[in-house]
């Protein structure tokens, strides 16, 4: 059983130990809209496996993609759902199935006053990395570089996820609105943080980012 909620997922909730993130490229706004409607019906009406805590669907602001963010109690629950007589299909129902990409939340940074701000836009920079050591090194270095940087207007929080296979870092960044993120790119960058994360750290390669709006969020009843 599940219920619809009106807010984005609580990224730091304590009982989440596995996150599955799925992105599908649809090409244009009409395909995005149709795929989102199909996915919501499929996930709302389909069986809700034990251990799945929430499923949130996002539409990209460029009208070309969907992202599903799933929170699970752990790998054992996900493995059981995948191996059930009627296997659970992670991700976005109605789109091409694939092996779920599993992530763990590694570190979060909440901006001053962040927990009380309404999340109006999610931005997801993704980085390809050369193994688990590079994953942790990249995130830790980024935190060190920004430790004394003043909060960016509109930035609420940044939640860094590490893929279980050691190949990616996924930043789920919460913003008050899309314009605030756009404005951040013209703001002063005295410590050169943007330049550093654009490809100067060995073993880390940026894969771009997208901005998203929440379409539908479901939680276990």
Domain holding 195: CATH number? 3.30.70.100
% of the chain exceeding 90 in pLDDT: 76
The sign one gets for the Cα dihedral 140, 142, 143, 147 is: positive
Question: Which residue is associated with the tokens 């599908």?
Answer: 24
pLDDT per position as a tens digit, 140-191: 988 988 887 777 889 999 999 999 999 999 999 999 999 999 998 887 776 6
Q: Are 94 and 132 contained in the same domain?
A: no
Q: Write out the residue range of the structural domain in which residue 93 sits.
A: 2-102+215-220
Contact (Cβ atoms closer than 8 angstroms) between residue 216 and residue 40: yes
Q: Are 76 and 143 contained in the same domain?
A: no
Identify which of 51, 209, 76, 180 has the alpha carbon closest to the alpha carbon of residue 120: 180
pLDDT per position as a tens digit, 98-138: 899 999 999 999 986 544 568 999 999 999 999 999 999 99
Q: Are 194 and 141 contained in the same domain?
A: yes
Q: Are 97 and 146 contained in the same domain?
A: no
Contact (Cβ atoms closer than 8 angstroms) between residue 84 and residue 73: no
Identify which of 220, 221, 218 has the alpha carbon closest to the alpha carbon of residue 4: 218
Q: Are 87 and 115 contained in the same domain?
A: no
Question: How many domains does the structure of the chain reveal?
Answer: 2
């Amino acid at each position: 059983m599940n219920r619809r909620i009106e807010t984005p997922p609580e990224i730091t909730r304590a009982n989440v130990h596995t996150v599955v993130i799925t992105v599908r490229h649809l090409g244009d706004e009409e395909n995005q809209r149709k795929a989102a409607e199909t996915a919501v019906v499929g996930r709302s009406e389909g069986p809700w496996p034990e251990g799945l805590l929430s499923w949130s669907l996002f539409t990209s602001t460029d009208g070309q993609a969907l992202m599903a963010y799933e929170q699970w109690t752990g790998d054992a629950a996900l493995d059981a759902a995948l191996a059930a007589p009627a296997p659970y299909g992670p991700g976005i129902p109605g789109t091409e199935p694939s092996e779920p990409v599993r992530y763990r939340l590694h570190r979060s940074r909440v901006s001053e006053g962040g927990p009380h701000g309404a999340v109006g836009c999610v931005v997801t920079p993704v980085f390809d990395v050369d193994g688990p050591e590079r994953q942790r090194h990249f995130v830790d270095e980024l935190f060190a570089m920004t430790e004394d940087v003043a909060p960016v207007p509109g930035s609420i929080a940044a939640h860094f996820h590490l893929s279980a296979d050691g190949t990616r870092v996924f930043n789920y960044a919460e913003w008050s609105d899309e314009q605030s993120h756009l404005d951040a790119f013209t703001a002063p960058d005295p410590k050169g943080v943007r330049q550093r994360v654009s490809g100067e750290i060995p073993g880390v390669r940026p894969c771009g980012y997208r901005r998203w709006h929440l379409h539908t969020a479901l939680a276990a009843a």
